[in-house]
Chains A and B, each alone.
Chain A
Amino acid sequence: MKRIIRIAAALTLAALVAVPMFAAARGKADFTRFVAIGDSYGAGVESGSLNLNHQPYSWPAIIARQVGLKVCSPAASATEVCFAEPLVSFPGIGNELQLVSITGTIAPATGTGAPIMTTFGRPYNNLSIPGANVNDTITLKGTDPATSTAKAYAQFILRGLGTEADQAIGQNPTFIAAWIGGNDLLGAVLAGTPALITPTANFSTAYNALLDKLIAGAPNAGIVVGNIPTNPLSLPYVTTVPRVLVDPSTRQPVLVGGAPVPLIADLGGGNIGALPAGSFVLLPAASKIATGQGLPPQLKAIPPFNQLPNTGVPLADTDVLTPTEVTAIQNAAVAFNDVITQAAASRNIPVADIKGLFDRLAAGQEFVGPLTLSSAFVTGGAFSLDGFHMTDIGYTLFANEYIKAINRAYDTKIPLASVAAFLQGNDPSQAGSYNNLSPEAAATILSFVPQAPPTSSPRRRGSGH
């Protein structure tokens, strides 16, 4: 009897294994005409700037290189087979933030950046619009006045040629990668208020409409989307500034009467109070705290805090996330991910696990070669100096989540992009480490390496005799 049960169990198991758990992913993993829909992450914004030093490391551009495409040079013609991005000259739109001193001084690069491919003769492959939320991808056409971040960028990225979705399907795409939804949430994080979260019903309507539109316009294309992080604490923008007063030189909490001193803030509706445990102070508040803002009034009597001009002035509601606000944002993120998961599953679209990547970074457990990457500000390696956009390395890991999802769903073997592409090569014996890079990637990296002045050739020297 036992044996029969065991055989039956084995047969059942075999049947389970034999029947695919999911229907095959839609379309094919054919990247001949590859387009991307997205937001600032897709565009390759880093350190508060969109510019050509980093656009080649936007997650769509990294995927493009891994599937054998090259990123179009600024001089590319419309007929050239390459992955086109709306390149912007350095220091970019939003001057790129740069680390000035090792003690943490950050300042924008000087100069003026401008789009340099506005006359490119076809829609860009990378249609990502910084600031775009889901609904923007099916409504903005680049014809509106620049009254928002997304509308401003749409002017030179969409150029009035149609929405992100329109221009994507207009290219008769063979493969579409999209990551959208972050801005339906991020505005609330950046502004410290859940009021800016897109209602879940609206998010759902827009997300499903986007997928329907893409499928109707490109019925044979492969499609991949990605979920969004649910943990606001994965962003250095949220976690860098402590909730309590710290001594900037030791980074240890200042103890008054033996206890740490919580900062004070508008906890909502003008209710001023000490930040409770589970609250977060957003990155831009750091400069306010340096003036004394957020320090409780009783410190006005205690040197050296009595010398700061704003001691006793609470931080603004928009400077902080209270535990209630954190919960509201997390709940919305979970709801959005449910929408994404269901919308994708019902259309046989694979989902890249961006949430998983952010969770590992937040835990400081993203192990890559000799590095352990984390969400730590400046030193974590994954997030750039604005505290919420990623670095070249961070976007590489992001792109890899997409590649993994594609490989799983389409049974392809696209190699992951290597962060070793970002070795500076400062050990002279390791010169030549860039051999595996595409020319434009190598050029970008080499732009960081001091160049020796050109030496005259031996022949020319010889001719002087």
Chain B
Amino acid sequence: MRSISRLLIPVLCLAVSSTAFAAGFSIFEQGAKATAMGGAFSATADDPSAIFYNVAGIAQQRSTTVMVGGTGITFSNEFRGDPNDPFTSGFTGRYNRHLFIPPNAYAVVPIGKNLTVGVGAFAAFGLRTNWQDPWIGRFVSRDADLRTKSFEPAIAWQTDDGRFAVGAGYEYRESTVVLNRNSAALNPFNGRIIDAANAYLRSKKAHDSGYNAGILFKPGSWRFGVSYRSEQTMNYKGNATFTQFPTGNAQLDAAIKSQLPPNQPINTSINFPAITIAGIATTAIPNWDIEFDVSHMTWSRFKTLNINFETTPAANLTRPQNWKDSEAYRLGANRRINEMWDVRLGAVYDKNPQPTSGVGPLLPDADREGVSFGVGYRKGHLMIDATEFALHFKTRSTNGLSNDNFNGTYKTDANLIALNFGYRF
């Protein structure tokens, strides 16, 4: 008879991490006022978060100002297996509850009449998809955690009349990534499907740098802003750890052990997109400030995800992603109530760049619709901005096209609460 241990190899082939990160890992909420205006802020850019939205905007800020805050993000979601998929049919899943708080901090200091320097720290990209056990999608992804931190010194200059400003910054970005999934195999002794092993990939800190630049033009009651943040590429190095799960059969366990790759160094790289934002704003209606922005992200850079195993290159993975560039449309309004109070409204339509075949447990992206509401309070040196932002992901189905052969429908909603405190010297 055949030697089974030899035959198990293709079955076991520990596909370690197959799917993509997604478009959805950009975080556009980097200031409570901007968030309240649906992120339509590049032609306003009148608080220190301009370092993120349009660096030229710090030129118009003629007082030394510090601003710190964060955006608390929670998700509620549901995966529902496709009744036409012979694996996911009848199964459901959801994320573990997490509160994510990407923080932000900015300071701007004017120098003379025309110049302002500033510094900002923020997390413009991040992702966590941590599925609640037991999770039927664990063979694709149990948990994915991508984090970034950016630090940016910036400078901007405006004309004497303040009608025209330009700015630029240098962004240093750090990132880590964790991927966690199980691998499946058939147990020939009982005809059952086993969790052969867990593969846990953890990177060390990777970093890259880029620049951003912006212009702001304010000819009268209309304002125009354009800003650009360059693409970056993170080259991660890390380690893969494989943990075997006993099956209750010593012979099978020995066979799996003999085929399990050793723990080893890995490397991978992820292309982060460039971001271009163009905005137009008007104060034509008294006490109202209304802005419309279009932002564009070059997600088409995300063509493949390769994970290289340095000890056993035979296990290397190359997965096509084939994202498309994507746009978001942002509309915001700020209504000045009095010297102390502003109220704000916003709406967002954010198109996703992920092809249907790539939608999966690692990142089930979808077109998003959001509405925001916020208030601003000023008294003396103090500024407080608070925002509630409800973001609905359109129901996204893989329509039987999943690259991971894991079909189903994803429903996701996010709630964001942004809070910033500022102090104007």
Give me the interface of A with B, judged by CB distance under 8 Å.
Answer: 46, 98-99, 101-106, 240, 248-249, 251, 286, 367-372, 376-379, 381, 384, 391-393, 396-397, 400, 404, 413-420, 422-433, 435-436, 445, 448-450
Contact = CB atoms under 8 A, between A and B. Distances in A.
B302 interface: no
Interface stretch (B2-10, B228-236, B391-399): B2-10
Contact of B138 (A379, A400, A430): A430
B220 interface: no
22 contacts: A102-B5, A102-B255, A105-B1, A248-B3, A249-B3, A251-B2, A369-B87, A370-B15, A370-B405, A372-B11, A392-B191, A393-B193, A404-B84, A414-B83, A416-B86, A418-B87, A420-B136, A422-B191, A424-B193, A425-B134, A427-B182, A430-B134
Interface in B70-127: 81, 83-91
Contacts of B246: 426
Interface in B369-419: 405-406
A368 B86 contact: yes
A416 B83 contact: yes
Interface of B: 1-8, 10-11, 15, 81, 83-91, 133-136, 138-140, 182-184, 186-195, 198, 245-248, 251-252, 254-255, 405-406
Nearest to B15: A370
B405 to A, nearest CB: 5
Contact of A104 (B2, B15, B252): B2
Nearest to B191: A391
Given A99-B188, A430-B135, A416 B89 contact: yes
A378 B86 contact: no
B135 to A, nearest CB: 7
A251 B192 contact: no
Contacts of B85: 369, 416, 418
Contacts of B8: 379
Contacts of B252: 102
A427 B195 contact: yes
Contact of A371 (B88, B193, B198, B245): B193
Nearest to A394: B191
Contacts of B187: 424
Contacts of A371: 11, 87, 184, 186, 193
B2 A449 contact: no
A104 B3 contact: yes
Given A102-B5, A420-B87, A378 B190 contact: no
A167 to B, nearest CB: 30
A106 B188 CA distance: 11
A413 B82 CA distance: 11
Nearest to B250: A102
Contacts of A435: 134
A420 B93 CA distance: 14
A406 to B, nearest CB: 13
B242 to A, nearest CB: 13
A101 B8 CA distance: 14
B133 to A, nearest CB: 5
A229 B318 CA distance: 36
A224 B189 CA distance: 34
A379 B86 contact: no
Nearest to A384: B191
Given A99-B188, A368-B405, A424-B187, A397 B194 contact: no
A448 B10 CA distance: 24
B87 A368 contact: yes
B188 A378 contact: yes
A103 B188 CA distance: 11
